[in-house]
Amino acid sequence: MALACGVHDQSHFTRMFAKAFGFSPGRYADCVRDQSGQVVLNLSV
């Protein structure tokens, strides 16, 4: 699936994600989960 979307490796995906959304995939993951693992959306973290 990644190749079909034009992504060749993890670093390429990270760069494309950050360019598209303005933050890294790791930052996104931190923002959508709280400490209990529940999904929330808080991009001000």
26, 17 contact by CB (below 8 A)? no
pTM for the predicted model, two decimal places: 0.63
Q: What is the DSSP letter of 38?
A: -
1-45 pLDDT per residue, tens: 677 878 888 899 999 999 999 999 888 888 777 777 776 665 665
- Tokens 């209990």 belong to 36
* DSSP-assigned states of every residue in 24-35: -HHHHHHHHB-T
Residues in the chain: 45
Domain boundary assignment for the chain: 1-45
6, 17 contact by CB (below 8 A)? no
